[in-house]
Amino acid sequence: MLTTFKEQSDLKKYLISICIPSYNRAALLPALLDSIFAQEYSNFEVVIAEDNSPERVSIRNVAYEYSAKYPGKLTYVENPVNLGYDGNLRHLFELAQGDYVLFMGNDDLMCLGALVKVVAALNRHPDIGVLLRSYAAFDVTPDNVVQTFRYFDRELFFPAGAATIGTIYRRSVVIPGMVIHRESALSHATNRFDGTLLYQLYLVAEILAEKNAVYLPDVIVLYRNGGTPDFGNSAAEQGKFEPKAQTPASSLHFIKGMLNIARYVEQERGLQIFQPILRDIANYSYPILSIQAKQSLSVFLSYCWGLARMGFARYPMFWGYWLAILLVGVPRMDALIVWIKRWFGRTPTLGKVYKGAAR
């Protein structure tokens, strides 16, 4: 949705905290910061929490350079110990000062006009706890976009409740561009799910039990493909994730974490969200299957059986993806999915997906 200059001048000037959990990848940090400081909307701060990585000195040097270049706009903090992904996200909420926190991966990019679009959407809808955005993935350079992740074809308002959680939950796994109400996040802070790499999903479920959500169809961030995972270094992640690798065991732990968080919030809140979330993950389970398809056939089949035992076995789409990977292969399936998304202009709706309510 386009925002006119008059609408920009009438916006409530929310302070947006752009938070960057930083671990290695120092060489890619300047490009990210350049994309942030190129934004037209000026009421923002940048908060970087460096998580005791081997590249700390290089990251520090970049942060100090940009802090000097943009006085008062950037806060840089070094964690004395490695907090891990979940702990560092929680720490960033504590460091931030804004009304809303917008997360960026440390190797991703923010699109021009992104903050104006975000703040305009927050102004158009009441009591927003979470803003879900569209994003695009690129290889090597930002002009080489290979896939766009647009879930719906228009801006949608989602009132608080179980149905909204069921839609927003799985679509919040990828963190860049996710916008979360800061005070709400602080009120639900916990270390219960440290080591899952899914702290944002816990917050989404808790916050959307009380506050509304909005979906923004505009692509506001670019996700860099091909990054090497750096998880497994913190005490909470050790034994669950392996640095520089994505093993079948770590993938199973990740999906189990998604389901455990949903089950916990369902029991805590008395909201029927677990089965809708399980169904939604199953209907879009191709990525969680294909990520381990390069393993030997026996390992891959064992991995798939591990997923099936979590509850996915009852859903036909799960087995459809499984069979397609075995018969067609991942490269052809990837190409087909990209083509389908381009043809539709968005991700097709599979199964029962709640699409919000009119205002």
Give every CB contact of residue 284 below 8 A, 6+ residues apart in sequence: 170, 317, 347, 350
Q: Give pLDDT tens digits for 123-150.
A: 999 999 999 999 999 999 999 999 999 9
Contact 218, 117 (CB under 8 A): yes
Pure H helices in the chain:
5-10, 29-37, 56-69, 84-95, 114-124, 162-168, 182-187, 199-207, 248-269, 274-283, 286-290, 297-309, 316-327, 330-344
Q: Give pLDDT tens digits for 257-282.
A: 999 999 999 999 999 999 999 999 99
pTM of the model: 0.94
Amino acid at 20: I
Q: Give pLDDT tens digits for 173-213.
A: 999 999 999 999 999 999 999 999 999 999 999 999 999 99
Spatial separation of the C-alpha atoms in residues 341 and 150, rounded to whole Å: 8
Could you say which DSSP state residue 174 is in? Answer: S
Spatial separation of the C-alpha atoms in residues 65 and 52, rounded to whole Å: 19
The residues spanned by each domain of the chain are 5-224, 255-344
Amino acid at 177: G
Question: Which neighbouring-strand residues pair with 20?
Answer: 48
Arithmetic mean of pLDDT over the chain = 95
Q: Give pLDDT tens digits for 31-87.
A: 999 999 999 999 999 999 999 999 999 999 999 999 999 999 999 999 999 999 999
Q: Give pLDDT tens digits for 79-111.
A: 999 999 999 999 999 999 999 999 999 999 999
Homologous superfamily (CATH) for 5-224:
Spore Coat Polysaccharide Biosynthesis Protein SpsA; Chain A (3.90.550.10)
Q: Which residue in this structure is represented by tokens 């000026």?
A: 42
User: pLDDT category, 359, cuts 50, 70, 90?
Assistant: low
Q: Which residue in this structure is represented by tokens 């750096």?
A: 230
Alpha carbon of residue 15 to chain centroid? 21
